């Protein structure tokens, strides 16, 4: 079968290779023909040697989707022809995350999406909603699951105000899912054009953080002095203190991102006095992806793909992710 190797920590080290065909799926496993992948920040970290614990060569890209072409013994609820999203946290099927079940990651410590066939545990995949393409389905596992977990953590619904930072993959899924849950969305961006796109997707209020660096004060104004129920912290060092300032008494700062770094100086007093909930997150379980998929199905959400690249243009796909697209970058797996 064909696959792509990342032979070292550089985009110059991507190479198409020929590998032995996989063995038939064993008990509880399925064989999936991979059809699409989607990029996340973690794939950049792996490609540049900034992700701990990986060894090269490896098969890159954490998120993928494909179709089942063979089913092993004792697999229930799945059949040949089913279209599925492949969850990158292969061992975290349900329940609480632990050190053991969250550390294994496809595209990093386990083979990723860029291969013709994959033998997978049936418990690590989720059937795609019928209206999704393979590329849209591949966009879901990390970004949409994380967005769903944030909204669920804050019980976002009618009457809630959710603040989203930037118009990247997680924020755009959070925007679509928050609107489906009936919440009000305030979103920030460095670009008025991107904010227009966010409005077209349902954003209620927009703030340009480049021209209004005091976006936290604007959030306070827009919430009548109260603050947001949830800030989805996708950015890290550059925004964390303002995210705390933008959150209401008892609200949630859902901390997931580190685009601008992981260390910052914060005043603890607002966290204490306002009784904030600081919640970290490490993607989510297969069960969380299944709940996200059900919501995307029920609300008929169309995942926003900024671009779809062929396998021969992988370096361009990574470049586009770095350029700050609105939504997700997908890769069509066609050899
Ligand atoms: N822990 C987890 O569970 C988890 C899961 C998924 C992702 N993540 C992390 O979350 C982060 C975001 O992921 P993503 O996939 O959404 O990334 P992405 O698609 O690359 O989006 C990045 C966006 O961040 C925005 N941004 C950059 N600097 C900003 C600033 N100072 N203020 C506000 N927005 C800013 C930009 O928006 P504009 O272009 O609109 O300005 C940019 O497009 C990454 O660090 C990723 O590793 C963590």
pLDDT, residue 252, reads 98
Q: Give the DSSP letter of residue 298.
A: H
260 C-beta closer than 6 A to ligand 1: yes
Secondary-structure class of domain 2-142+284-332 per CATH? alpha beta
Asked whether the domain spanning 144-280 has the same topology as the one spanning 2-142+284-332, the reply is no
Given this model, what pLDDT does residue 218 score? 98
Question: What integer pLDDT is reported at residue 296 of this predicted model?
Answer: 98
Break the chain into its structural domains and give their ranges: 2-142+284-332, 144-280
Q: Tell me which residue has its CA closest to atom 1 in ligand 1.
A: 256
- Alpha-carbon distance of 126 to 208, in angstroms, equals 37
Query: 257 C-alpha to center of ligand 1: Å?
Result: 6
Residue nearest atom 5 of ligand 1, based on CA coordinates: 283
Q: Phi and psi (nearest 5°) for 119?
A: -90, 120
For residue 52, what pLDDT is reported? 85
Residue 328's pLDDT is: 98
Give, to the nearest 10 degrees, the angle between helix 169-180 and helix 286-298: 60
Superfamily of domain 144-280: NAD(P)-binding Rossmann-like Domain (3.40.50.720)
- The 8-class DSSP code of residue 96 comes to S
Position in ligand 1 atom list of the atom nearest CA 167: 40
> Taking the chain (335 residues) in consecutive chunks of 10 residues, what is each chunk's mean pLDDT?
97 96 97 98 94 93 98 98 98 96 96 98 98 98 98 98 98 98 98 98 98 98 98 98 98 96 94 98 98 98 98 96 95 97
């Amino acid at each position: 079968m064909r696959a792509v190797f990342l032979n070292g920590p550089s985009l110059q080290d991507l190479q198409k290779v020929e590998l032995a065909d996989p063995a038939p799926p064993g008990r509880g496993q399925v064989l999936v023909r991979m059809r699409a992948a989607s990029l996340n920040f973690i794939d950049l970290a792996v490609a540049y040697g900034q992700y701990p614990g990986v060894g090269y060569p490896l098969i890159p890209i954490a998120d993928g989707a494909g179709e089942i072409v063979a089913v092993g013994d004792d697999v229930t609820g799945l059949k040949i022809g089913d279209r599925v999203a492949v969850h990158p946290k292969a061992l975290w099927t349900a329940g609480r995350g632990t050190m053991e079940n969250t550390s294994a990651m496809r595209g990093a410590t386990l083979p990723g999406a860029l291969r013709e066939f994959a033998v997978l545990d049936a418990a690590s995949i989720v059937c795609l909603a019928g209206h999704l393409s393979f590329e849209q389905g591949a966009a879901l596992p990390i970004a949409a699951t994380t967005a769903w977990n944030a909204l669920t953590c804050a019980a976002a619904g009618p009457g809630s105000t959710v603040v989203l930072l930037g118009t990247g993959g997680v924020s755009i899924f959070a925007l679509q899912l928050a609107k489906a849950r009936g919440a009000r969305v305030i979103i920030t961006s460095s670009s008025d054009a991107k904010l227009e796109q966010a409005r077209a997707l349902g954003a209620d209020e927009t703030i340009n953080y480049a021209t209004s660096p005091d976006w936290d004060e604007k959030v306070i104004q827009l919430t009548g002095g109260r603050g947001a129920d949830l800030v989805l912290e996708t950015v890290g060092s550059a925004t964390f203190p303002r995210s705390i300032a933008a959150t209401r008494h008892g609200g949630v700062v859902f901390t997931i991102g580190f685009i601008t770094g992981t260390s910052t100086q914060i005043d603890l007093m607002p966290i204490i006095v306002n009784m904030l909930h600081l919640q970290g997150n490490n993607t989510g379980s297969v069960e969380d992806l299944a709940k996200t998929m059900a919501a995307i199905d029920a609300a008929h959400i169309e995942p926003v793909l900024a671009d779809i690249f062929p396998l021969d243009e992988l370096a361009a796909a990574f470049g586009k992710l770095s350029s700050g697209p609105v939504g997700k970058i997908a890769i069509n797996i066609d050899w």
